[in-house]
Structures are given as structure tokens and as C-alpha cells.
């Protein structure tokens, strides 16, 4: 949540900052703002509620001369404390107007700090927790042991703050310096030639540099045009930060001719899955073996696990549900799938023989990160599945599989979800390999099947015109239900979530066997029900049972939209609309059946006039609990 960018260099700072905010607006679009330092002791601030376009209109009206300068920062907000209004938009300034701050996250102890400031006669002008930070730094800069020292004043205040936050400060008396810090929320430095960047996402500066530095937990950084210095909150420079090179370019973060990023990202799914699999099977004297990206778990440890937990949120949780089917089938090890937000609060039973698989696209999801830390405290081992190299969750884990999807700008996950499913299957195969529950040739055969899926996903994308036509017909309905069995059940849940996120409709996913236990009461004439059919070859019993479910709901007037394997003629008489997907092994079918549901949700949202990339009230990365 919230996009942050800071710049010091030789370019027009306003242009750099606004371009960066445009690329990071997916992180929050309740309001936006900029602060530009003129180098003559002044700082120009503009902020506006609503989309970035509202801010740009204000900037145009104010004129470029007001915002001339080569140092500045910007913010696009997803509201936590305080309504999305002009007065709550960032940046926030101190009473003198010389110091400004932008913030991502939550300052949990803001209430007593606010009272302290008010008791000192300082009038706060917003409802945010953010504003306390700028006034505290202003006081530290004006008086006491850190007086006149910008960096020391910021560090002194950081030590007083509780919560999960990224903070970036600029001061009019120090126009060539930006001081920033992170505690549990993302922050990355961009290293240029005669210029430096700081942002919550590398998409902010990828146009200008691919060289970056990932900050660690509870670290601060001072950037100038000439370089950067990383410290802990005490100012100690004996800390570790991780330089890396970004391996994708600006084009990967742009729409590529599509109306929405999400439509582009749906079409990128064959590549996303293929790239995620690359390098994970290495041929050796035994025929080959699965390898992970960052393996700090020995095969002996993998053999000794007697239980697996998968922890995740949102779409990642649905990917975890699919992991359960694969891991238990291939390894015979019991798997529990937990919502990360509930995991540590119910006191799960963990020990050294437990493997926790943490699934997070950003690698910064607050609930999942805290679940990882709880698992580590209980001596469990953690394997991360993540799309962001060097993010906090993989840094704190014992092993990592990276989903190599490039940036996913659309808030509703598409290509990241399919890549997570594929990565979870790699975890299952790695465990089966280490435990000997599958022979090497069986592991190789399963991996080869998995490698064949991108071509089949590309074939599913050819159904898009048919799916879009159905979606436009149904765009006016108030409710859509989704049914599935076995691996089709998590797919049904994911399809319902996509429709809720994008079209703001009532949508529910059910295990089809539960119909008679209550949900069938919802069936009425004309109600659309999307059914994910299993293969008649792979799960014949489940296929016949789900066919019976379709007959039951159709007899009660439902409109049945059925996703079924090509050539499955038994389902045709009971499908008002039949969407055919290629035949695939049962465990891998979700990589195909999910795709029409993504297209359906996006088209319904478009037909209803909604912004597909920026659904209301949602942000891409949830970095507070």
C-alpha cells in the first residue's frame, strides 16, 4: 500500500517524481502529492485527493516555475489513518513548512505521540498518523542533542516509533539530501550516475537505472546525488544491504497497447509460468533433480519434515490450497493451509520437523511476514515463494522459489497467481524427490508435464472472445456462483474473488459437494453458476458427481457456464455455455481453468464501467496488519 519515491540529482525532479507515481499508482490511489525543493530554502508542496490525474491538473494550474528543482519526493496513498481527503494527502509538513515527509504503513504508537505534540502547543492539521513524525523530527532538529543535524534528528525519532512503516524526509535547508527508513515495509534505492532514487518499488526508477540496493529491516539510508549511506536506526554503518540488478525493463511495466495492465498480464501468463520453471530442473547422473533458487535446507532436512503448513493471503491463499493437493499426493505428508492473518493467533503446533511455506507476491505482506517470524520463533523451517528478489520474507526464510513474472501492476493478481501455483508444485516435487516418495524418472516426468503447461495456457487464451461475450451478457446480474470439486474448488474460490475485486458483485465459490448443505437455497431462475469440471479421465468419480450437481442446479433454473476439458461431450447437454480447455493432468488443470475466470471478471468490470487495474479500496501490497 502507498507508493513512495524520492529523487536527488540533475534532472527536473517534478518530472521524475510524477512519472514514478504514475507507474506506482497501483499501490494506492486515494490521493497523491509531491514536494519539490528549490535549492533556495524553499519547498513547494501540492497534494490532491483522488487519482493522480487530479494532482497533475493542480500542478498544471500552478505552473512549472513553482516546482523547479532537482530534488524532491512524491506519494500516492492508500488510506489507513484518516479519510482520503486533501488535508490527509501526503506529503505532510511541519509548522515551519521547511520539513516534509511521505509515509507508507502505520505508526502504531501515534496516539500518545500526538498527545505529546498537542500538549507542547503544536497544532496538527490532518487526521493521519504520519503527521506526528514530521513534527517530531522538526522538534529534534530545532532543539536538543541533534539540533541542526538533519540525519541525526530523523534517526532519533525513528527510535521512538512503533509499527510497520517506510518514511522519507526532505528538508529545505538540505536540498541535496533525502533521509529515509524502513521497518517491515518495502524500500529500495536506485543507483544512478550523478543521481539517486529511493522508492517503495523499482518500477519508480527503472526508466533511469537498473542498479538497485535492497534495504534490510530497521535500516535507514541517506541519499545525495553522489551516493548513499546505509545505517541502522542508531546510526551504525556496520550493516548489510544487498545490491542487485533489475532484470526487466520499462516496457515490462507498461501496458503494451492494452486498455488495462491486467489484460496485458493475463496474456503474459504463458511466459510467467515458463520463466518461473526455468532452471529448476538440472540434469545429473540420476537423470535430473529439482533445485530451488536459494536453498538453505539440506535434503536430509526435507526428508525429516512430518508436516507442512502453507500460509498466505488472498489469491496466494488459493494457490496454497492447490499446493495441499499436490504435496500430499506426491509426498504423503499432511499439509495445512492457513490464512496468514489467523496463523500465529491460534497458536499452531510447530517444531523443527515442520516446514512452513510462505506465499507472497510482494514478499512484504505484513500478515505473512509475521507468520514467518512466528514460525521461526517456534524453530520451524520456512520456504518462501515470492516475486520480489530480496524482499523481507525471502530474506528471513530458509529457502526460496522466485516467481519470475516481472512486475504485476494490476491490483487483482493474475500472472503472479499462476506462477505461485507452478512454484508450489515445484515445492511438492522437491519434497517428493528428497523423501524418495517418487523415483527420479517420475519427478522428471511430472516436471516435463509442468513445463508443457505454458503452451496449453496460450491455447486457453484463445477462448477470450467467447468468455468476453458471456461476460457482457451477464454484466447486469447481481450475483454469480462458482462450483468446483477437488482442485476445482480453489479455482472456484479464486474466480469468485476476482469478480468481487473487479466488478464489486456478490460472488461465492463453493465445493460442489456442499450444495445440498445450504448453498442450493441460493439457486433461482436465471442465476449464473460457473462450474469447473474435472477431467472425465483423471477423476471419473468426481466428474460424474459434479455432472449430477449441474443437473440439480439447472433443474432449478440456473444458467450454467461450464469450463470443461476438450472432448468432454457428456457435459455438453447440461451447459448453457461451454468453455473448453485443453486436457491436462488433474493437478495441473487449475493452471488452465483459472484463466477464463480472470478474463470473465475483467470483462464484467469493464462492461460495468469500473477501472480494472485499480479496484476501489484495494492496494497491491498489504504491508500493515
What pLDDT is attached to residue 241?
A: 87
In a domain, 159, yes or no: yes
Residue 565 pLDDT more than 60? yes
Which one of 248, 271, 290 terminates a domain? 248
Q: Strand 163-171 relative to strand 99-107: parallel, antiparallel, unpaired?
A: antiparallel
What pLDDT is attached to residue 250?
A: 73
Report the alpha-carbon distance of residue 230 to residue 151 in Å, rounded. 11
Taking residue 608's Cβ as centre, other Cβ atoms within 10 Å add up to: 14
What pLDDT is attached to residue 620?
A: 64
- Distance linking the first and last C-alpha atoms of the chain: 11
Of the listed ranges 548-557, 590-599, 610-619, the least confidently predicted one is 610-619
In a domain, 614, yes or no: no
Give catalytic residue positions.
2, 620
In a domain, 28, yes or no: yes
What pLDDT is attached to residue 1?
A: 64
**467-519 per-position pLDDT tens digit:** 999 999 999 999 999 999 999 999 999 999 999 999 999 999 999 988 889 88
Average pLDDT of the residues in 62-86: 90
Residue 617 pLDDT more than 90? no
In a domain, 198, yes or no: yes
Query: Are residues 203 and 285 part of one domain?
Result: no
In a domain, 430, yes or no: yes
Percent helix / strand / coil, the chain, rounded to 5: 40, 25, 35
What pLDDT is attached to residue 203?
A: 86
In a domain, 125, yes or no: yes
What pLDDT is attached to residue 365?
A: 85
In a domain, 253, yes or no: no
Can you tell me whether residue 183 is helix, strand or coil?
strand
How would you class 14 by CB atoms within 10 Å of its CB: exposed for 0-12, middle for 13-18, buried for 19 or more?
A: buried
Report the alpha-carbon distance of residue 430 to residue 424 in Å, rounded. 10
Query: Are residues 145 and 292 part of one domain?
Result: no
Tell me, what CATH number does 527's domain have? 3.40.50.10490
Kindly state the greatest CA–CA separation across the chain: 81
Which one of 227, 248, 269 terminates a domain? 248
Query: Are residues 393 and 294 part of one domain?
Result: yes
Contact 17, 34 (CB under 8 A): yes
Query: Are residues 165 and 83 part of one domain?
Result: yes
Name which residue leads in pLDDT, 297 or 89: 89
Q: How many angstroms separate the Cα of 222 from the Cα of each of 132, 292, 363?
A: 21, 35, 24
What pLDDT is attached to residue 537?
A: 82
Q: Share the mean pLDDT of the chain.
A: 92
Contact 186, 391 (CB under 8 A): yes
The count of structural domains within the chain is 3
Report the alpha-carbon distance of residue 348 to residue 204 in Å, rounded. 39
Rg of the chain taking only CA atoms, in angstroms: 26
Residue 619 pLDDT more than 70? no
Contact 457, 559 (CB under 8 A): no
Name which residue leads in pLDDT, 301 or 57: 57
Which one of 451, 472, 498 terminates a domain? 451
Name which residue leads in pLDDT, 467 or 288: 467
Query: Are residues 393 and 345 part of one domain?
Result: yes
Residue 536 pLDDT more than 90? no
Residue 622 pLDDT more than 70? no
What pLDDT is attached to residue 113?
A: 96
What pLDDT is attached to residue 503?
A: 96
What pLDDT is attached to residue 364?
A: 83
Q: What percent of the chain has pLDDT over 90?
A: 72
Can you tell me whether residue 610 is helix, strand or coil?
coil
* Buried/exposed code over 36-74 (b: 16+ C-beta within 10 A; e: otherwise): bbbeeeebbbbbbbbbbebbbebbeeeeeeebebbbbbb
**105-143 per-position pLDDT tens digit:** 889 899 999 999 999 999 999 999 999 999 999 999 999
Residue 240 pLDDT more than 90? no
Query: Are residues 446 and 339 part of one domain?
Result: yes
Does residue 205 come out as left (phi exceeding 0), alpha (psi in the -120 to 50 range) or beta? alpha
**Per-residue pLDDT band at 625 (split at 50, 70, 90):** low
Query: Are residues 221 and 145 part of one domain?
Result: yes
Query: Are residues 410 and 293 part of one domain?
Result: yes
Side-chain-facing half-sphere of 393: CA atoms under 13 Å: 32
Which stretch of DSSP H or E encloses residue 557? none
In a domain, 616, yes or no: no
Of the listed ranges 39-48, 88-97, 292-301, the least confidently predicted one is 292-301
What pLDDT is attached to residue 208?
A: 95
Of the listed ranges 354-368, 447-461, 473-487, the least confidently predicted one is 354-368
Residue 268 pLDDT more than 80? yes
**303-331 per-position pLDDT tens digit:** 989 999 999 999 999 999 999 999 999 99
**Per-residue pLDDT band at 417 (split at 50, 70, 90):** very high
What pLDDT is attached to residue 329?
A: 96
Query: Are residues 386 and 276 part of one domain?
Result: yes
Query: Are residues 220 and 94 part of one domain?
Result: yes
**165-189 per-position pLDDT tens digit:** 999 999 999 999 999 999 877 899 9
Query: Are residues 505 and 385 part of one domain?
Result: no
What range defines the domain where residue 568 resides? 460-607
Hey, what's the cell of 274? 515458463
What pLDDT is attached to residue 69?
A: 95
Hey, what's the cell of 500? 468481487
What pLDDT is attached to residue 621?
A: 58
- Beta pairing partners, 355: 308, 381
Residue 624 pLDDT more than 60? no
Query: Are residues 591 and 502 part of one domain?
Result: yes
What pLDDT is attached to residue 519?
A: 86
Sequence-ordered list of residues with C-beta below 8 angstroms from that of 622, at least 6 positions apart, any chain: 1, 313, 365, 366, 367
Amino acid at each position: 500500500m502507498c507508493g513512495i519515491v524520492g529523487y536527488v540529482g540533475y534532472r527536473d525532479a517534478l518530472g521524475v517524481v510524477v512519472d514514478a507515481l504514475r507507474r506506482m499508482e497501483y499501490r494506492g490511489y486515494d490521493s497523491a502529492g509531491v514536494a519539490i525543493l528549490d535549492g533556495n530554502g524553499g519547498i513547494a508542496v501540492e497534494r490532491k485527493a483522488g487519482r493522480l490525474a487530479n494532482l497533475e491538473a493542480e500542478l498544471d494550474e500552478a505552473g512549472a516555475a513553482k516546482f523547479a528543482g532537482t530534488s524532491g519526493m512524491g506519494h500516492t496513498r492508500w488510506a489507513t489513518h484518516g479519510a482520503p481527503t486533501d488535508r490527509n494527502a501526503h506529503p505532510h509538513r511541519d509548522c515551519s513548512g521547511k520539513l516534509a515527509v511521505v509515509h507508507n504503513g502505520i505508526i502504531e504508537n501515534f496516539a500518545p505521540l500526538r498527545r505529546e505534540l498537542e500538549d507542547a502547543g503544536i497544532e496538527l492539521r490532518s487526521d493521519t498518523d504520519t503527521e506526528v513524525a514530521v513534527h517530531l523530527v522538526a522538534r529534534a532538529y530545532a532543539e536538543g542533542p541533534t539540533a541542526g543535524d538533519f540525519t541525526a534528528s530523523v534517526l532519533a525519532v525513528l527510535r521512538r516509533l512503533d509499527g510497520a512503516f517506510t518514511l522519507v524526509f526532505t528538508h529545505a535547508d538540505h536540498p541535496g539530501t533525502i533521509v529515509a527508513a524502513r521497518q517491515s515495509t518495502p524500500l529500495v534505492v536506485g543507483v544512478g550516475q550523478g543521481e539517486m532514487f529511493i522508492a517503495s518499488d523499482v518500477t519508480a526508477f527503472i526508466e533511469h537505472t537498473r542498479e538497485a540496493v535492497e534495504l534490510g529491516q530497521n535500516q535507514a539510508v541517506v541519499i545525495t546525488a553522489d551516493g548513499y549511506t546505509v545505517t541502522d536506526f542508531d546510526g551504525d554503518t556496520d550493516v548489510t544491504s544487498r545490491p542487485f540488478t533489475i532484470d526487466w525493463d520499462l516496457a515490462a511495466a507498461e501496458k503494451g497497447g492494452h486498455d488495462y495492465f491486467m489484460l496485458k498480464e493475463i496474456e503474459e501468463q504463458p511466459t510467467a509460468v515458463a520463466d518461473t520453471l526455468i532452471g529448476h530442473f538440472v540434469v545429473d547422473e540420476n537423470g535430473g533433480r529439482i533445485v530451488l533458487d536459494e536453498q538453505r535446507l539440506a535434503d536430509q532436512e526435507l526428508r525429516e519434515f512430518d508436516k507442512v503448513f502453507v500460509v498466505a493471503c488472498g489469491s496466494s491463499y488459493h494457490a496454497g490450497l492447490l499446493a495441499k493437493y499436490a504435496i500430499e499426493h506426491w509426498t504423503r505428508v499432511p499439509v495445512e493451509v492457513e490464512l496468514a492473518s489467523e496463523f500465529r493467533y491460534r497458536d499452531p503446533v510447530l517444531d523443527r520437523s515442520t516446514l512452513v511455506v510462505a506465499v507472497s507476491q510482494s514478499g512484504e505482506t505484513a500478515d505473512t511476514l509475521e507468520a514467518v517470524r512466528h514460525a521461526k520463533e517456534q524453530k520451524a523451517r520456512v520456504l518462501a515463494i515470492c516475486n520480489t528478489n530480496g524482499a523481507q520474507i525471502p530474506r528471513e526464510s530458509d529457502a526460496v522459489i522466485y516467481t519470475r513474472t516481472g512486475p504485476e501492476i494490476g491490483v487483482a493478481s493474475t500472472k503472479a497467481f499462476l506462477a505461485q501455483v507452478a512454484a508450489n508444485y515445484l515445492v511438492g516435487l522437491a519434497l517428493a524427490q528428497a523423501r524418495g516418495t517418487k523415483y527420479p524418472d517420475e519427478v522428471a516426468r511430472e516436471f516435463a508435464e509442468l513445463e508443457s503447461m505454458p503452451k496449453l495456457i496460450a491455447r486457453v487464451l484463445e477462448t477470450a472472445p467467447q468468455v468476453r461475450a458471456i461476460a457482457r451478457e451477464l454484466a447486469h446480474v447481481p450475483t454469480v456462483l462458482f462450483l468446483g470439486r477437488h482442485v476445482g474448488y480453489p479455482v472456484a474460490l479464486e474466480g469468485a474473488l476476482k469478480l468481487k475485486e473487479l466488478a464489486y458483485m456478490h460472488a461465492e465459490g463453493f465445493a460442489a459437494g456442499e450444495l445440498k448443505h445450504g448453498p442450493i437455497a441460493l439457486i433461482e431462475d436465471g442465476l449464473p453458476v460457473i462450474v469447473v469440471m474435472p477431467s472425465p479421465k483423471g477423476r471419473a468419480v468426481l466428474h460424474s458427481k459434479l455432472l449430477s450437481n449441474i443437473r440439480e442446479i439447472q433443474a432449478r433454473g440456473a444458467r450454467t457456464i461450464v469450463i470443461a476439458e476438450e472432448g468432454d461431450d457428456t457435459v455438453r447437454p447440461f451447459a448453457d455455455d461451454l468453455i473448453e480447455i485443453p486436457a491436462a493432468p488433474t493437478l495441473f488443470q487449475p493452471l488452465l481453468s483459472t484463466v477464463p475466470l480472470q478474463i470473465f471478471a475483467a470483462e464484467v468490470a469493464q462492461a460495468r464501467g469500473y477501472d480494472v487495474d485499480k479496484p476501489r479500496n484495494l492496494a497491491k501490497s498489504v504491508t500493515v496488519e
